[in-house]
Structure 1
Amino acid sequence: MAAIQMKELLEAGVHFGHQTKRWNPKMKKYIFGARNSIYIIDLQKTLRLWNTAANFLTKAASEGKTFLFVATKPQAQELIAEQAQRCGAFYVNNRWLGGMLTNFATIKKSLDKLRDIEATLNDPARTAQLSKKEILNLNRAKAKLEASFAGIRDMRNVPDVIFVIDPHREDIAITEAAKLGIKIVGLVDTNCDPDKIDYVIPANDDAIRSILLFSERVADSVLEGRQSFQDKGDNEQMKAMMAEKMNEGAEA
C-alpha cells in the first residue's frame, strides 16, 4: 500500500481547509476545528480514509480496472496529467465537457475524428492532395480536439474508477460518474459535498503540495495493483505453458 505519514500531511498543508464562511456542513465530521477563520481538517481521519482508498485503488488495479484522473483547476492540470500518464490512467485536465461519461458514444465520435485527422496529417500521400489552407484547418481542428481529449484519446469505454481533485469544481464529472455507478475517489476540501464520493479523502484541494502528494500516492497505488495484475497474468501463462509441456510429455 502507498502509505502516507502524518509528517507528510502537515508539511504539505493538507490540514488547511477553506474559510469558515465558505464551507459545506456535510464536511463537519471531517473537521478538527477552526483557526483564524480557517477550518482545520482532522488529519487522523484523513490518514484512515486514505488507507481505505489506497487499498481500494490497488485492489481495483489488480483486477484490471481502468482509471480516469480529473482535475481542471490551473495548479493541478500539469500534476494530474503527469501522474495519470505515469500509472497508465486516462485524464481530463482542461475542461470537463458535459456528457464525457453519460454520452460517451458521442465523445467516441470526436476521438475517432481526432485519429482520422492525425492519420491524414501523418500520410504524405494524403497531404500532397490538400491545399495549404486545408492543412491549416486540419491542424486547427486537431489542436482543438487535443485540448479537450488528449488525456482520453485511447479510452475505448467509460472508466471503472475516477479520481477527482476538488469535487466542488468537478461537480458535473461527479454527477455523471455517480449516475453510471462508476466508483469515485475524491480529494475533498471543507467546501465540498462528500455525499456522492465513494472514497472520501478529506484534504486541502488547493495547495500544490497537497495535490502532488495525493496524486503521486494514488498513482503509486494503481501501479502496485497493476504489477499484481501483470504477475497474475504471467503466472497463468506459465501454468498454461507447463500444462502444455506436460501434455506433450504424456503423449510422447
Structure 2
Amino acid sequence: MALRKCLKCFSLLPTHVPKLPAATRCLASLPLDVVDPKNEVVREPDAGKSPLECPDYFGVNSLVTMEDLLKARVHLGHKTGLWNPLMKRFIHGSRAGLHILDLDRTLPLLHKALNVTAHVAYRGGIILFVNERPQFEGLVQRTARDCREFFITQKWRGGTLTNSYMLLGTLRLPDLMIFTSVPPSKTAVKETAMACIPSIGVVDSDCNPSQIMYPIPGNDDSPSALRLYCRLFSEAILLGKEKRKSDYADKPEPVSVRTEESTELKSNANNNS
C-alpha cells in the first residue's frame, strides 16, 4: 500500500492494468469433453488445436502481473543523460533525473517473450542464458541449472556462434538466446543476429532494442528485477517441458532437436563460463 501511494505521488503508477481479452483464453485449458443439450457427451471442438494456434497454451500470462513489475522496480531506467533514442517509445517519462519505463508496454512484451520461451522448451529446443555481469553470475547459473538449460556468464568469446566448430567442437547452435541484460560489448548480440538465432533480452533505457528479436523494456541493474526475470524464464521453460510430457504421455514424442551434440555444447559452454 505504501509503495502504491508513493508511486501515485510521483505519477509513476500506470493508469490501468492490461487484462487478457476473453477471446485469447487458452482453449487447451477447457475440459476435453462437454455435454450437449441432448445429454450426449461430445468432443470439445478446439481440443485438437496445436500449441501454435492457442495464444497462451502454457498459461504464462498468469505468471506475472503489473504489481510484480512495480515491486521489482522494473520501471526504473537510467539517468536521463544516459539513454538510447531508440528506447523512446518504451519510456513513460522521467522523475528525479531518471527515465521511467512504460510498464504498459513492458508487460505484454514480457508475456510474449515468456510464451516464445515455453514454445521452444516444448519443442525440445536448446536455450542459452547469457549474462556478463559478475554480480548476477550465480543467479543466472542457478536459473539455467534449475530448468536444465545452458549458460555463459563470463566475457563472451568472439566466434562462439559464428565459429562454433573451432571453439566448441560442435555445429549445434542454441535455438533461443536469453540475455538477462544486454552485454556492454554487444558481441554476443551481434553474433546471435548473424547466426539467425531468436533472441530475448532485457533492454534498459540505455540499450539498443533493435538488435533483440523479443525486447523486454526493463531495469537490468536491480537485483530484485533480475530475480524476477530469472524466475519467470525458469517457470516458462519448465511449463513447456511439463506440457510436452503430458501431451505425449500416450503417444511417441516427436524427434527432439536435443542430440548428443547438445550435451557436448552444454559441457563446452559451461566450461567457458
- The TM-score range, normalised by the shorter chain, is 0.7 to 0.9
- Pair 1:193 & 2:208 matched: yes
Q: Give the structure 1 partner of residue 167 of structure 2.
A: 107
Matches within 5 A, 1:143-162: 157-162=172-177
Q: Give the structure 2 partner of residue 112 of structure 1.
A: none
Matches within 5 A, 1:64-103: 64-103=124-163
Mark the runs of 5 or more structure 1 residues left unpaired by the alignment: 110-154, 239-252
Q: Give the structure 2 partner of residue 51 of structure 1.
A: 111
Q: Is the 8 A contact 2:160 2:168 kept in 1?
A: no
Q: CA deviation at 1:9?
A: 1.0
Aligned equivalents of 2:217, 2:70: Cα separation in 1: 13
Letter in 2 for 1:226: K
Aligned equivalents of 1:201, 1:53: Cα separation in 2: 8
- Pair 1:215 & 2:198 matched: no
Letter in 1 for 2:95: R
2:181 to 145, 151, 166: 166
1:39 to 67, 91, 99: 99
Letter in 2 for 1:34: S
Aligned equivalents of 1:170, 1:223: Cα separation in 2: 31
Q: Give the structure 2 partner of residue 224 of structure 1.
A: 239
Q: CA deviation at 1:100?
A: 1.1
**For the aligned residues, what is the CA RMSD?**
1.6
Aligned equivalents of 2:177, 2:250: Cα separation in 1: 29
Aligned equivalents of 1:89, 1:198: Cα separation in 2: 20
3-state SS of 1:235 partner: coil
Q: Deviations over 1:200-226 (max 9, x none)?
A: 110000111101101110111111111
Q: Is the 8 A contact 2:164 2:171 kept in 1?
A: no
Q: CA deviation at 1:50?
A: 0.7
Q: Give the structure 2 partner of residue 147 of structure 1.
A: none
- Pair 1:13 & 2:28 matched: no
Q: Deviations over 1:162-185 (max 9, x none)?
A: 000222525111100110110000
Give TM-score, length-normalised by structure 2: 0.68
Identify if the C-alpha distance between structure 1 residues 12 and 170 changes in structure 2 by more than 3 Å, giving closer, same or farther: farther
Aligned equivalents of 1:218, 1:79: Cα separation in 2: 12
Identify if the C-alpha distance between structure 1 residues 232 and 156 changes in structure 2 by more than 3 Å, giving closer, same or farther: farther
Identify if the C-alpha distance between structure 1 residues 156 and 219 changes in structure 2 by more than 3 Å, giving closer, same or farther: farther
More contact order relative to length (CA 8 Å, sep ≥ 6): 1
Letter in 2 for 1:98: G
Give TM-score, length-normalised by structure 1: 0.73
Letter in 1 for 2:101: I
Q: Is the 8 A contact 2:132 2:183 kept in 1?
A: no
Aligned equivalents of 1:102, 1:208: Cα separation in 2: 32
3-state SS of 1:230 partner: helix
Letter in 2 for 1:4: V
Letter in 2 for 1:40: I
Instruction: Quote the sequence identity (%).
Output: 33
Mark the runs of 5 or more structure 2 residues left unpaired by the alignment: 1-58, 254-273
Q: Which has the larger radius of gyration?
A: 1
